[in-house]
Structure 1
Amino acid sequence: MEKSLKILLVEDNLIEIMKMKRTLSLLKLNHIMYEAKNGEEALNFLDNRSNIPDIILLDLNMPKINGIEFLRILKANDDLKHIPTIILTTSSNQKDLLECYRTGMSGYILKPLKYEDYVKKIEIVLSYWSVNELIKS
């Protein structure tokens, strides 16, 4: 049985945030989604231990603290490194992909151009993590 997830979406593009909200609604998923506009805002959000999400969906290209820097900080923190972090990006750069795997990400999803393809990918990712056994903080 799939469980409801607490998702932290770290994304600076308002259109991408709206697209994720629309997708969750379209799929009739009862997940709770929190938003952070950049890595710095996400780290501030995670300072409050009652905010710890089940998974993090992370964009790479953001102001202040980019996705890779955020991932490094997150995975260096013993209290936060267990949180599965899935990169959700337009970057197909192999250097970015390799660095994210080295740093400890849980998945790397390329944002497709077609909305229907985006919905399918998000549905698969969230379905997987909602049946996976997650550590509760």
Structure 2
Amino acid sequence: GTKLQHVKPHGALYLTAVENEGVARVVAEAIVSVNPELLYVALAGAKGELMRRIGQEVGLKVVYEAFPDRAYTPEGTLLSRRQAGAVIKDPQEVSQRALRMVKEGVVIAVDGSTIPLEAQTLCVHGDTPTAVDLVRSIRQAMEADGVVLTPMGKE
């Protein structure tokens, strides 16, 4: 077998933990009960503050995650997949968004506003048809720009 490194709530659980203190606490406490050394992946930016605070309260190391292949609302949440433009499929656009997230600590929302976020890891959705191209493009852009890539939790 392999050793588990991190826990990231997925889908509706993740989005609920961002907004609901009870759910965020249950998730964090469940992680601690399994292994308090596990990394806890939480949404980067102001909207992830609840998950981060509770994760830290229970003693977890929290890693901040951003999504270069997803559109953000001006409030800092991910635009619903039900809305046009929610998933960004163009490798060039996604790699430029990833660079801004990592180097400048910002993402541009759908209304053009700039949202601050601190990203330590990036998530690209594997169900996007261009996912492999997106990841390759991000890596190439990061390396070309001198960004040092390290395994999560090793920074």
TM-score calculated relative to the size of structure 1: 0.36
More relative contact order, 1 or 2 (CA 8 Å, 6+ apart): 1
Scaled by the length of structure 2, what TM-score is found? 0.33
**Which structure's CA Rg is the greater one?**
2
Bigger share in helix: 1
